[in-house]
Structure 1
């Protein structure tokens, strides 16, 4: 089945979508697509068929999101913990992923028409090399598209992602690109796999489980969480509408919490900058060792902030280059 399922909403769905869109709409929705195996057991089918139907449901859900003007979707496709499943099931999931990314590459023109950018978040080194190369080709083939975004979390857990972000900052310090004092909550966010995306507005988990299972723990601190009992292959347009309604009911409190957190981050960064700027060493350079007056303190602070921002900018550019090189190297110099 295609990644992008064509087709319009029926009349009732169109009316409902119009009503929903009159209120605040999530721009970024994340899904924990749970219940494929239970669905297969219930229907007396092979597990692999349950996973296949789960992928088909993703394609249908992306169509609904498109009609609801949801510009970004993130899905939990394969957790690092899933490697603990039986050998047959893991191999089957890897084979399914290969088939779907091969199909994606066959649909480049359709993806370009819809402006779909595919990103794959996770440690691709844990995957078979042929799958790594297919993923790299898909990412590079769609990276210039900017109308809508699909983030596929594959070989991913949130704790692994955060640990990797800390490693990236440590690498920046070792390379002399940033200083230890530049490390902050905001910088860590920019070192996550998801650094190119805004945090999700709404996270939906199906199958009745009420836990995040190590998915986007950092990014969902101010996100509406909706847990639904339906198994993922049975997910419907109306289930999605129900989740969006819950988001709309809670939108104001979520937005207030985000605003408060954003202001708190700014204050913390300002205090950290002020402490560094007014250190004895810095004043020695910019104040000739004399007690600093208010004007000189402000000058020192402005100078320090400008230098910190420049260091961080160069570090993030280097980090982007390093990550891009990983994909281009996998493609052996091209998409052919």
Structure 2
């Protein structure tokens, strides 16, 4: 379709949907569908790659910033559907670290939009407050200017008491940066391997001068290392009275959580990395949706998109993505999850029946054998 035809089609659709009778019928139908969806399984964590704002603006011959504004309007409608349906966590890819490579004009415009929209979202009585959702900003704070940081802090402060749902705004973010931050947090917590530490402690018990050397080395390393969020307590020889048996390290992670547990390198696992991601306290990612027809994740939620995550690529631009695109996806997810749960239940029943029959046979044979012996 040509750009002029696209604009005409969009205008016609918006005009038609804004007619009072059509709008009333549409709302009633939405409520009925959402009510039906709530009777079955609902994804607890949904993520969106909101792609296509710029292309939509070019196709519609409007300013790029206007395309982003229309994208925000689409987001507000989708968030309302999510929270009405019972989704607990929504994660949106608002701004990639790679987007700083765009023109300064567009980057500045996006930052201005972010300030305005964060303020609108977090205002008392608005969307997030109605549904008890708090804003969390996931990303590299040091890359944005102070005005945007102030807007971020205000938004998180105003919604921090909401506890029914979460809106994760990835801004500025890439999954590689998130995983790197997680690894840095883990390294800050990691102790020498258990066998190596036990060897040092054994030597320290046998030779007091080794203990002194350990203390001296620890003091030197603390004095020489630059200041950071990670601090080390004095190394303590195992068995000392009223002291821990291993050096303690305090770490403040991205979410501001204090950790004082020491971590052995042998204990690091996939779960360890998961627990240090920005989304550590969120439910697993159930559904990831990307608009614009592009079929890639673009460095978004790479770790979280596991084997149980449904990924949907939708062939429309984000400003065009509406409830009639979204509800069928939710319905399809619910049907697949019901089918999966039914298969799991049948498999469990088959296992139970097999085990039950085997046990009955074993009991009969055991009984017959005992009778023969007597």
Question: Which residue number corresponds to residue 114 of structure 1?
Answer: 131
Question: Which residue number corresponds to residue 243 of structure 1?
Answer: 329
CA distance in 2 between counterparts of 1:73 and 1:48 reads: 24
Out of 103, 106, 115, which is 1:98 matched to? 115
Q: CA deviation at 1:246?
A: 2.8
Which sections of structure 1, spanning at least 5 residues, go unmatched? 1-6, 259-336
Name whichever of 95-104 and 186-195 sits farther off.
95-104
Is 1:186 the counterpart of 2:293? The answer is: no
Out of 78, 97, 100, which is 1:80 matched to? 97
Q: 1:17-166 residue pairs with structure 2 within 5 A?
A: 17-105=34-122, 107-110=123-126, 111-166=128-183
Which sections of structure 2, spanning at least 5 residues, go unmatched? 1-22, 192-231, 233-248, 250-261, 345-374
Out of 27, 32, 38, which is 1:15 matched to? 32
- Does the 8 Å contact 2:190/2:264 carry over to 1? yes
- Does the 8 Å contact 1:33/1:206 carry over to 2? yes
Aligned CA distance change for structure 1 residues 245 and 114 (closer, same or farther; 3 Å) = closer
Q: CA deviation at 1:39?
A: 0.8
- Does the 8 Å contact 2:83/2:131 carry over to 1? no
Question: Which residue number corresponds to residue 313 of structure 2?
Answer: 227
Question: Which residue number corresponds to residue 209 of structure 1?
Answer: 294
Q: 1:247-286 residue pairs with structure 2 within 5 A?
A: 247-251=333-337
- Does the 8 Å contact 1:223/1:254 carry over to 2? no
CA distance in 1 between counterparts of 2:184 and 2:342 reads: 32
CA distance in 1 between counterparts of 2:131 and 2:30 reads: 21
- SS of residue in 2 equivalent to 1:25: coil
- Does the 8 Å contact 2:134/2:166 carry over to 1? yes
Q: CA deviation at 1:256?
A: 10
Question: Which residue number corresponds to residue 218 of structure 1?
Answer: 303
- Does the 8 Å contact 1:172/1:178 carry over to 2? yes
CA distance in 2 between counterparts of 1:63 and 1:102 reads: 17
Name whichever of 109-118 and 193-202 sits farther off.
109-118
CA distance in 1 between counterparts of 2:341 and 2:305 reads: 13
**What do you get for the CA RMSD once the two structures are aligned?**
2.4
CA distance in 1 between counterparts of 2:104 and 2:332 reads: 39
Q: CA deviation at 1:109?
A: 4.6
Question: Which residue number corresponds to residue 189 of structure 2?
Answer: 172
- Deviations, residues 220-255 of structure 1 (Å, cap 9, x unaligned): 112011111011101111111121133134326877
Q: CA deviation at 1:190?
A: 1.1
CA distance in 2 between counterparts of 1:172 and 1:253 reads: 42
Which is higher, the Rg of structure 1 or of structure 2? 2
Q: TM-score, normalised to structure 1's length? A: 0.69
Q: CA deviation at 1:141?
A: 2.8
Aligned CA distance change for structure 1 residues 83 and 25 (closer, same or farther; 3 Å) = same
- Does the 8 Å contact 1:224/1:254 carry over to 2? no
- Does the 8 Å contact 1:204/1:243 carry over to 2? no
- Does the 8 Å contact 1:101/1:134 carry over to 2? yes
Count of residue pairs brought into register by the alignment:
251
Q: CA deviation at 1:30?
A: 0.7
- Does the 8 Å contact 2:41/2:338 carry over to 1? no
